[in-house]
Amino acid sequence: MSNFSERLVALRKARGLSQSQVAKEVNVAPRAYQNYEYDEAEPRLSTLIRLADFYQVALDDLVGREFSPPAGGA
């Protein structure tokens, strides 16, 4: 999930925030947030949603996912 951790670092640094500041805003322990950035842990869905809301990005963008519809439609 390295795209996710790299994206977290980029979003945080672009806003000039510390890891502790972001952790407080999204209601996680600072160490937990560090682990997300260091690609040592993956957050729960509820935390991912809070992070996406905080950074004002879509979940797909936050995790570095590019959506491709299935071939043949559905």
Two structure tokens written together for 72:
């043949």
Q: Which amino acid is at 1?
A: M
Mean pLDDT of 7-36: 97
Q: Which amino acid is at 37?
A: E
Tens digits of residue pLDDT in 49-65? 999 999 999 999 998 88
Burial of 57 (0-12, 13-18, 19+ CB in 10 A): middle
Q: Domains plus CATH for the chain?
A: 2-59 (1.10.260.40)
Tens digits of residue pLDDT in 21-35? 999 999 999 999 999
Integer Cα distance of 33 and 74 in angstroms? 38
